[in-house]
Amino acid sequence: MPNPTSLSGLEKLTNVRFKNKDLLYQALTHRSAIHERAKNGHNERLEFLGDAVLQLISTEYLFHLSDRPEGELTNWRSALVQGDHLCEVAKELRLGDYLFLSRGEEASGGRKKDSTLANAVEAFIGALYLDQGIDTARTFVHTFILTHLKQLIAKGKHRDEKSVFQEMAQEKTGITPTYTTLSESGPDHSKLFVCAVFIGKEKIAIGEGNTKQKAEQDAAKSALKVKGWRE
């Protein structure tokens, strides 16, 4: 577990100095470490808030950036806020080095897990919003997330996994994939959904996330790999 004093390095890299350090610690505390850091709690509530703040800032940015149709702007936003992109942002910030994890989670490679890193970015945004307001959060999002839009579009990342998998499945099998929620657990502010994607009666893959949409996207992402259809 990192030394709390080392968080000053993250503040320097992000050009943000938190007024309430407890918010920063909470944003970087994985749920596995809650017993070690009971004072501040884990980061899932901040992740919930940060996701909404990120969606708002991204939507506002795209609205003023272009007069493209709603559907196209929605796809651009998806590319900006999807887990894969946020994971890359986390790696750019070396966010994994600053996470508070349990020993078990540490041993299992928790610092490099894509979902953990992406969630930490959202939690950081949530903490920043509470600590310093929307303007500072907007500056962070513009600097580290929105600047990648052109590269994401060039790579086709604005085409979300569900859309790609549906197109590929229809092309290769003539069948439209369906999704089923296998389980739903946790309190309202910290849900975990597990979903499966099917082609006909065949279960192709499962995925998880803190919303049904994210779980379905995760399932579609896995299904593309299972089928070898990844572009």
Q: How does residue 1 score in pLDDT terms, banded at 50, 70 and 90?
A: very low
Q: By 3-state DSSP, what share of the chain in percent is helix, strand and coil, each rounded to 5?
A: 65, 10, 25
- Residue 135 annotated in active site: no
How far is Cα of residue 113 from the mean position of the Cα atoms in its chain? 11
Which CATH number covers residue 207?
A: 3.30.160.20
Residues 6+ apart with CB under 8 A from 102: 30, 32, 33, 35, 36
Any bridge partners for residue 199, and if so which?
202
The mean of the pLDDT values for the chain is 89
Percent of all residues in the chain with a pLDDT value above 70, rounded to a whole number: 93
Of 154, 182, 214, which one is at a domain's C-terminal end? 154
User: Residue 84 is part of a domain; what is its CATH number?
Assistant: 1.10.1520.10
CA distance 131 to 138: 13
C-alpha distances out from residue 156 to 62, 104, 182, 202, Å: 17, 36, 30, 28
Q: Which of 119, 154, 189 is the last residue of a domain?
A: 154
Residues spanned by the domain of 90: 4-154
Residue from 51, 105, 160, 218 carrying the catalytic annotation = 51
Of 44, 122, 160, 218, which one is the catalytic site residue? 122
Averaged pLDDT, 2-19: 81
Most confident of the following: 32-36, 101-105, 223-227: 223-227
What are the CA-CA distances from residue 17 to residues 7, 13, 52, 185, 194 (Å)?
10, 10, 22, 35, 37
> Among the three residues 154, 183, 204, which one is the final residue of a domain in this structure?
154
Q: Which of 34, 23, 210 is nearest to 123 (CA)?
A: 23
Catalytic site includes residue 47? no
pLDDT band at 37 (very low <50, low <70, confident <90, very high): low
Answer yes or no: do 166 and 133 share one domain.
Answer: no
Which pLDDT does position 39 carry in this prediction? 65
12 and 32 belong to one structural domain: yes
Domain count for the chain, please give it: 2
Query: Does one domain contain both 179 and 207?
Result: yes
Check residue 3 and give its pLDDT.
45
